[in-house]
Amino acid sequence: MTDLPVFPEGFVFGAATASYQIEGAAAEDGRGPSIWDTYSHTPGRTHEGDTGDVACDHYHRYPEDVALLRDLGVDSYRFSIAWPRVQPTGQGPANQKGLDFYSRLVDELLEAGIEPAATLYHWDLPQALEDRGGWRVRETAERFGEYAAIVAGHLADRVPRWITLNEPWCSAFLGYSVGRHAPGAQEGTGALAAAHHLLVGHGLAMKALRAAGVREAGITLNLDRNVPATDTLADREAVVRADTQHNLVWTQPLLAGRYPTTEEDTWGELITRQDFRREGDLDLIGQPLDFLGVNYYRPIVVADAPHREPDPARRVATDNRYEERPFPDVRRTAMGWPVVPESFTDLLTALKDRYGDALPPIHITENGTAEHDEPAADGAVHDTDRVAYLHSHLTALREALDAGVDVRGYYVWSLLDNFEWALGYAKRFGVVRVDYDTQERTPKDSYHWYRRLIAAHRG
């Protein structure tokens, strides 16, 4: 174990999941439909028509899953709360049975000595709200603030760490521009409005969490490390547009109190046509964060390119005059993602360089990999590629700490193999294998590796 990275005392080791990806019980105890139920049940949207109807059946098997977390030795477990379990139509009184489920989960975690870390929104918007405009409209942000108040009112006394939104980039841009996530829209201004209303919703949820007296509240972003394909000015400028779309659209309002100065160059007429911003929004969005959650998986190579759609009236928000290129000469995961651990260090040090003292402490709220792992003849899962990925990325994270970045915790994605959104059950990210026919859980070699790493940090 001598080559394993060592983290400071008090560093939080955790594991993460999300409601729609693991819970199942899609129509149980009053849960209403979410946009992901609609999307996954629409033919052609997901791999082999997979849905989250059953997923890992965590709704019924959560005691077994908490026992796996306890044996893993994690300090904290990051899960998300399904809004349509708590408010089946996204508004109005709480569905007590939905709240009771999360209350039971939290109690089970606390009994196991594990700190719960709750995400309020990991993409399962109540379908009824999408029918009224979804994140394109401000009303959804207002309903989100009310939902946050209900949940915090029930759980704030037992949940110390709260995350308002998970990866709003995916909600806004995969959901309303690329169309590869629910609700599957392909729009220009609609996606930019969604991005803004997600930030407003975050601000309203922060106020609700503060009012409930929670210990720590923050937001999780999937920041990208965009690197230019060549050193030409054109490619370097393309990186600025990619950074604006992926990163600055969130970090500037959240951490610098302003919208990105590069937004007009990135979105042109789409952003100048917007009328969704209101006076006071930046103050709401820019409330102090106790921590910033960062999810990291891979870097992206960016090259200058023309607009894919020449007509601005028909252009989607992710058509920003750049294209992705393959990362040369590195291993790729089962997602096709390049494995470049040093990019993880670079992402974090660049964040520190840009925001300095305005950067709150960081929690890595997701990091991990999908691999082609299969059980061996003895039933064990020797996921050596995942072990190598985790080892190299935790080492890269340690280097970021050495470079002065204040990182307080790390959550592996994911505890369980689960529903990987449009890719269904074809991609496995878990440190625990799930047999979807029997629901049997098998800890993989990576689970045992992570367990040893955590144990090595205990006195």
Catalytic residues: 167, 366
Q: How far is the CB of 421 from ligand IFM (least distance, A)?
A: 6
Residue closer to ligand IFM by CB (options 238, 292) is 292
Q: Token pair for residue 23? A: 């819970």
Give the distance, in angstroms, between the CA of residue 369 and the centroid of all CA atoms in the same chain.
14
Helices 58-72 and 445-456, axial angle in degrees (round to 10): 50
Q: How far is the CB of 445 from ligand IFM (least distance, A)?
A: 20
Q: Which residues contact 391 (CB under 8 A, 6 or more apart)?
A: 4, 449
Q: How far is the CB of 429 from ligand IFM (least distance, A)?
A: 6
Residue closer to ligand IFM by CB (options 167, 243) is 167
Residue closer to ligand IFM by CB (options 267, 429) is 429
18 binds ligand IFM (CB under 6 A): yes
Q: How far is the CB of 365 from ligand IFM (least distance, A)?
A: 9
Residue closer to ligand IFM by CB (options 18, 401) is 18
> CB–CB of 128/37 below 8 Å?
no
Q: Is the peptide bond before 160 cis (omega within 30 degrees of 0)?
A: no
Backbone angles phi, psi at 325, to 5 degrees: -120, 155
Q: Angle CA(288)–CA(292)–CA(298) in degrees, nearest 5?
A: 155
Query: Which residues within the stretch 329-388 sit at the binding site for ligand IFM (CB under 6 A)?
Result: 366
Q: Token pair for residue 447? A: 């689970």
* DSSP track, 113-177: T-EEEEEEESS--BHHHHTTTGGGSHHHHHHHHHHHHHHHHHHTTT--EEEEEE-HHIIIIIIII
Q: How far is the CB of 21 from ligand IFM (least distance, A)?
A: 6
> CB–CB of 453/441 below 8 Å?
no
> CB–CB of 24/85 below 8 Å?
no
Nearest residue to the partner ligand IFM, using Cβ = 18
Residue closer to ligand IFM by CB (options 290, 420) is 420
- The structure tokens 């997701």 sit at 366
Residue closer to ligand IFM by CB (options 95, 220) is 220
Q: How far is the CB of 402 from ligand IFM (least distance, A)?
A: 26
Query: Which residues within the stretch 405-434 sit at the binding site for ligand IFM (CB under 6 A)?
Result: 413, 420, 429
The pattern of x and - marking residues 127 through 166 that bind ligand IFM according to CB under 6 A reads ----------------------------------------
- Total residues at the site for ligand IFM (CB under 6 A)? 8
- Element at 434 (helix H, strand E): strand 432-434
Residue closer to ligand IFM by CB (options 413, 447) is 413
Helices 189-211 and 138-155, axial angle in degrees (round to 10): 30
End-to-end CA distance of the chain: 15
Query: Which residues within the stretch 281-320 sit at the binding site for ligand IFM (CB under 6 A)?
Result: 295
167 binds ligand IFM (CB under 6 A): yes
Q: Is the peptide bond before 446 cis (omega within 30 degrees of 0)?
A: no
219 binds ligand IFM (CB under 6 A): no
Beta strands in 160-242 (DSSP E): 161-166, 216-221, 225-228
Q: How far is the CB of 413 from ligand IFM (least distance, A)?
A: 6
Q: Angle CA(425)–CA(429)–CA(432) in degrees, nearest 5?
A: 100
* Chain residues that interact with ligand IFM, rule: CB under 6 A: 18, 21, 167, 295, 366, 413, 420, 429
